[in-house]
Amino acid sequence: MGGLVQAPSGDFYGTNYAAGTFSDGTVFKITPNGELTTLHTFDGFDGALPNDTLVLATDGNLYGTTDTNGSHDRGTVFKLTPTGVLTTLHNFSGDPPAGMPSTDGSNPFGLIQAASGEFYGLAGGGLFEDGVVFEIDAAGHGVSLHSFDGTDGVNPVNELVQATDGNFYGITSAGGLNGVPGCPGEGGLGGGTILKITPGGVLTTLYSFAGSDGANPLGGLVQATDGNFYGTTVCGGLNNDGTVFKITSNGELTTLHSFAGSDGSLPFGTLVQATDGDFYGTTSQGGASNDGKVFKLSGGLGAFVKTLPASGRVGAGVRILGTDLTGATAVTFNGIPSAFTVLSPSEITTTVPAGAITGTVQVVTPSATLSSSMPFVVP
């Protein structure tokens, strides 16, 4: 169910949700030429149903979650080496005694690695059974940072995003302060929220959807090059077909577009800001055949470059993706020049130069100086 993650070697890693010998899921590697290797087959004891995109961490290992099973049948967090050696880092708690809820959460998903090196994720369960935010390190030491209680959201979904201010931002698909009906199937649980949480666990509800401005976000947030966050709601808006919105870190929300059926309906994926500065996404319904649409939305933002991977030590290979890179005359890592090769108008290959430290990657072209959307991390 998760997407693919590409390693510096060029190989891709991903998960199969319910495949393998025991139908509990697998982790696989596939080369750009299509050669597939199954690295690990889950057997239930070590978890079942891996359910999100793997994290390629700065230590070179892969980290992820399983939806169920493990020692308490509530899901796990695991570490996997590139050669397929799996370690279960955490088993989420089992059936609580005397009807008490699971305080550390259950059925986790949405794992990310923070700049500190620790991992943050979302899960169900918690003190009020409305979901939790959790933190865990590479050794498996974890803690529940926040339990949602309904007024601050119900059912946190997708992934958190760590913003340039160091805090984490995310969404809940329901709950909040406004008792709007929400989308079909969401009942009277509210229109959902946008949240900010500090690395230490202090949560602020930035916004509660009210229906007219959108309802029930399911796609994650993306922090764009202007520093603001962009996302979608499944329904709500002027026509109850969903919206695209922008929100500042202070909670000021602007509805950028209300879908009307003919241009799409029920968007639920995370937006992508392409290197041309525009946003791209999909709707699950609407359009000429009511089978969904792929859409583009311009926010008036400029072009930029993106590095793959987003971190690397001195000497590591790096791909730089962008727009109109032909004729580039310089590549720098936080001001340190690096030798490079232009492979196409959209791709440059280079290496992390000696003396580089964490900072912005820039590419000088005949028409512009393009900066990376996020700092490149040099461990």
Show me where the domains of the chain are located. Answer: 5-297, 306-371
Decide: helix, strand or coil at residue 230: strand
Q: Residue 207: what pLDDT?
A: 97
* Fold (topology level) of 306-371: Immunoglobulin-like (2.60.40)
**Which stretches of the chain drop beneath a pLDDT of 70?**
1, 94-102, 181-182, 184-188
190 within 8 A of 179, measured Cβ to Cβ: yes
Q: Which option is the CATH number for 5-297: 3.20.20.70, 3.50.50.60, 2.120.10.30, 2.60.300.12? A: 2.120.10.30
**Whole-number Cα distances in Å, 376 to 63, 86, 190, 369:** 20, 28, 39, 17
Looking at residue 123, what is its pLDDT?
94
Structure tokens at 148: 């949602």
Q: What is the pLDDT of residue 238?
A: 95
Residue in this structure with the two tokens 């490149």, named with its chain if needed? 376
Distance CA 139, CA 117 (A): 11
**Residues with Cβ within 8 Å of residue 156, at least 6 apart in sequence:** 110, 122, 131, 132, 133, 148, 170, 171, 172, 173, 195
Q: What pLDDT score does 94 carry? A: 52
pLDDT tens sequence across 160-204 = 999 999 999 999 999 998 877 667 655 457 899 999 999 999 999
Q: In whole angstroms, what is the distance from residue 281 CA to residue 314 CA?
A: 35
pLDDT of amino acid 200:
93
| Angle formed at CA 363 by CA 359 and CA 364, multiple of 5 degrees | 130
Task: Give the pLDDT score at 309.
Answer: 84
Smallest CA-to-CA distance from 364 within 308, 325, 335, 319 is with: 325
Domains 5-297 and 306-371 share a fold: no
- Can you give the pTM of this predicted structure? 0.91
The whole-angstrom separation of Cα 210 and Cα 236 is: 8
CA distance 61 to 84: 10
Phi, psi of 365 (to 5 degrees): -115, 170
Distance CA 266, CA 308 (A): 31
At position 88, the amino acid (one-letter code) is: T
